[in-house]
Structure 1
Amino acid sequence: MQLRKGKTKVILENAIECALLAVEIYNKPRTNYRVEGYITNMIMAWTKLFQAHFHYTIGDKFYYKNKSGRYELIEGEKKAWELKTCITKYGQLSLSQKANLDFFIKLRNKIEHRHIEKDEIGITIFGECQSLLYNFESKLIDFFGEEYALNESLSFALQFSRIRTSGQSIASKTLLSKEVKDLREFIDRYKNALPNDVFDSQEYSIKLIQVPKISNTNRSDLAIEFVNWNNLSEEDRFNYEKITTIIKDKVVHKEVLNPGKLKPGEVIRLVNDEIELSKKINHFDLKCLYYAFSIRPTAQDEGQNDPFDCNTNFCHYDEVHDDYVFQEAWVKFLVENISLEKLTKTVWKGSYDKKQKLNLEDFQINNQ
């Protein structure tokens, strides 16, 4: 397909430029926030790719409408469908492709709400990043033909093999730091919740094995070969499975759901059992305390719509049941501070009413 000049072609060219920019950023080893830049630009690339497809198939109709049937406007411009809506409207992605895109939409939202160095996360999600790009090119070709493929514009990124082990070791230590603990927990939780057939799919995460070619091959052969799984012999497939069994990084054991976690009512009961009658708390008090210390999102947190944005030392979002569960550490924190009168109803209600957060560090006791 060769598009003529027009809006579809302009949108498509923008989508391709976003993808190329994403790869350029990712392949620059000394670029700050390169993984963050890659994710942001690839989300834009996917969104524009869908919009080009919609414009070509249904016309200029990929916009939100209000209840009256009129287009929603932002600063005078029609509000276009976001990527999540585009995926739903398209409705033909495989489960693995959807899982990959959903992962990056959620991860981007979490990264946007934090002000920390995220590059060390890149090692953990390299396979997902690669699939995000491969899936983009695959869908680009499906929509508009092979003449728009990216393979002529991209090159295989060189790997610094001699220092790779050392670099990974440093990154692994950094991943244990408090600053990225929440992101790592989200990534592990998302991966472990996926069905095996989705996680194992190359459309969700590319699993690459770097093996030097030492056989006697033609000197004009490419240094890198990508082998089609469907073309492998049974013996080669068996050997491949043995290797992937060794290197596979997914946790396969099953855990008890929310062991030791507490519901809000249980938190209130346990706190009230330990404090004086005059200091007892209710559900509204607990809501004020959530807000005051940013333990979990509340309606008072303007612009905060990510339920996973919790202080994981005290609280976790239960996606299955769409509610929150709490750690015993949260009960201990409240009991100690209320008993010592560092926390009073006046303090937490004032914080909630005035929309002024409290500094958690000011209320830490006994190196908690």
Structure 2
Amino acid sequence: MHLAWQNLLHAEFEKQGIDFTYKGKDGRPLKTKDGDVKTWELMRCAEEAYAEGDPIRKNIEFFVGIRNKIEHRFQKSLLVATGARAHALVINYEAEVVARFGGEHSLSSELRFPVFVQSLTPEGVDQQLDLRKKLPAKVRSYITRFEANLTDAVKESERYEYRVLLTPLKGSKSEADLAVTFLKAESLSDEERQDLTNRSRTGTVVITEKQRDIYLKDALAPSKARAAIAARIPFVFQQHHFTQMWKIHGVRPAAGDPSKERTDNRYCLYNAAHDNYVFTKAYVERCVKEIDTPDKFRAFFGKDPIGKSE
């Protein structure tokens, strides 16, 4: 995943016109010992692509830091200790590929994302605990120190640590051993919902979209988010520019979409009380980074920027 993430962000920088090569004092690209141009490593890429407090960035930084601290023989112990974070690393990657390059590049048809589960027997749990104890002290210390510096918001984010609780379903084999089908509640008619209720355990899961807490201290109304971006760049940045950006980024549904709460909650949230959307400071940072030079602005909007003094 380390190399996959690095290649993904390199591709994004290339699309944005961002130079991600290291330069010498003479301004020329530095070379590796093999003669290749030296490009940004993953940590540097994450710093450029995501705001400081972004859970995705912290998840990447966690695995970059741990990469060189573990020996192959401790791999099982590491999986037990960091499985939920590994979930997030893979799921975040899939989400970013689709968000940045479109659904045609989704890996969902190629990969089956792993789900690490605790054993359901006392013996299995004991084995899991024993594996945790075998993790080298330097790695346990690294994990403790790293997470001590995280905010509660990051630690509780599913984009930093994706935890799943498995509950066994009791019942006859013919009932419990069926393949599971996932359906969205909003796509079902009243008759279909009632039919599923009557059939009880049939291997079908009805998904109801859960509204997320929108009362964040960094939430900004669209006009204020636009103004915050405009204040950080040397070009005219109007509301239609901002609208174009969130549409391209896909951080919120289009007008008229019935699933108003289905946003990218790193950047945008739906306010049910006022029936509108608010944007996070992390989204302001992302927008600024993508259009703060003439070349970036031109690459994003397809036209030259207008200076504020013009």
- Is the Cα contact below 8 Å between 1:49 and 1:140 reproduced in 2? yes
* CA gap 1:170/1:212 in 2 versus in 1, 3 angstroms: closer
* Aligned counterpart, 1:172: 129
Matched, 1:191 2:147: yes
Aligned counterparts, 1:301-316, within 5 A: none
SS of 1:70's equivalent in the other structure is: coil
- Give the Cα–Cα distance (whole angstroms) in 2 for the partners of residues 144 and 123 of structure 1: 32
TM superposition shift of 1:72: 0.4
Bigger fraction of residues in helix: 1
Matched, 1:46 2:5: yes
* CA gap 1:142/1:160 in 2 versus in 1, 3 angstroms: closer
- Give the Cα–Cα distance (whole angstroms) in 2 for the partners of residues 213 and 107 of structure 1: 36
SS of 1:168's equivalent in the other structure is: helix
- Give the Cα–Cα distance (whole angstroms) in 1 for the partners of residues 61 and 76 of structure 2: 20
**Matching residue within 221, 225, 240 for 2:204:** 221
**Matching residue within 108, 112, 123 for 1:155:** 112
Deviation digits for residues 58-100 of structure 1 (CA, Å, limit 9, x no counterpart):
17x3211111101000121101111111122224586211111
Matched, 1:126 2:83: yes
- Give the Cα–Cα distance (whole angstroms) in 2 for the partners of residues 164 and 65 of structure 1: 56
TM-score, normalised to structure 2's length? 0.52
Deviation digits for residues 245-276 of structure 1 (CA, Å, limit 9, x no counterpart):
xxxxxxxxxxxxxxxxxxxxxxxxxxxxxxxx
- Structure 1 unaligned segments of length 5 or more: list them: 1-41, 233-368
Identity within the alignment, %: 24
**Matching residue within 203, 209, 226 for 2:159:** 203
TM superposition shift of 1:188: 2.4
TM superposition shift of 1:151: 2.0
Matched, 1:101 2:101: no
* CA gap 1:227/1:187 in 2 versus in 1, 3 angstroms: farther
SS of 2:145's equivalent in the other structure is: helix
- Is the Cα contact below 8 Å between 1:175 and 1:184 reproduced in 2? no
TM superposition shift of 1:148: 1.5
SS of 2:69's equivalent in the other structure is: helix
* Aligned counterpart, 2:101: 144
- Structure 2 unaligned segments of length 5 or more: list them: 171-196, 214-310
TM superposition shift of 1:115: 6.2
- Is the Cα contact below 8 Å between 1:123 and 1:168 reproduced in 2? no
What amino acid maps onto 1:43 in structure 2?
H
Task: Say which one has the larger Rg.
Answer: 1
* Aligned counterpart, 1:265: none
SS of 1:124's equivalent in the other structure is: helix
- Give the Cα–Cα distance (whole angstroms) in 2 for the partners of residues 230 and 79 of structure 1: 44
* CA gap 1:164/1:126 in 2 versus in 1, 3 angstroms: farther
* Aligned counterpart, 1:88: 47
- Give the Cα–Cα distance (whole angstroms) in 2 for the partners of residues 161 and 173 of structure 1: 13
* CA gap 1:207/1:56 in 2 versus in 1, 3 angstroms: same
Deviation digits for residues 26-76 of structure 1 (CA, Å, limit 9, x no counterpart):
xxxxxxxxxxxxxxxx111100001111222217x3211111101000121
* CA gap 1:110/1:123 in 2 versus in 1, 3 angstroms: same
**Matching residue within 14, 34, 37 for 1:78:** 37
Higher relative contact order (CA 8 A, sep 6+): 2
TM superposition shift of 1:104: 0.5
- Give the Cα–Cα distance (whole angstroms) in 2 for the partners of residues 162 and 176 of structure 1: 17
- Give the Cα–Cα distance (whole angstroms) in 1 for the partners of residues 5 and 89 of structure 2: 9
- Is the Cα contact below 8 Å between 1:87 and 1:93 reproduced in 2? no
TM-score, normalised to structure 1's length? 0.44
Matched, 1:230 2:186: no
